[in-house]
């Protein structure tokens, strides 16, 4: 999940941080790809309207 998309979905860094119960500075420190744990938390909060990226399956 891209940080920019999550920020836009929630209407800003502050609102995203509030939804997660963290400080806006924490959101600002994320790389472009949101850490997986937070991405899954966002997926739950948005009831699936934002999807956390699934790890690629290994091919045999």
pLDDT at 52: 87
The token pair that represents 35 in the structure block: 């850490």
Considering the entire predicted model, what is its pTM? Answer: 0.83
How many CB atoms lie under 10 A from the CB of residue 14?
13
The CATH classification number of 3-45 equals 1.10.260.40
Indicate the average pLDDT of the chain. Answer: 91
pLDDT at 59: 63
Please state, for a pLDDT cut of 70, what percent of the chain lies above it. Answer: 87
Per-domain residue ranges of the chain = 3-45
24 Cβ neighbours under 8 A, 6+ residues apart: 13, 14, 16, 17
pLDDT, average across residues 14-19: 97
């Amino acid at each position: 999940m891209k940080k920019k998309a999550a920020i836009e979905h929630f209407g800003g860094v502050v609102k995203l941080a509030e939804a997660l119960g963290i400080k806006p500075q924490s959101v600002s420190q994320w790389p472009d790809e949101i850490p997986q744990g937070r991405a899954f938390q966002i997926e739950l909060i948005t009831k699936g309207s934002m999807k956390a990226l699934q790890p690629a399956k290994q091919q045999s």
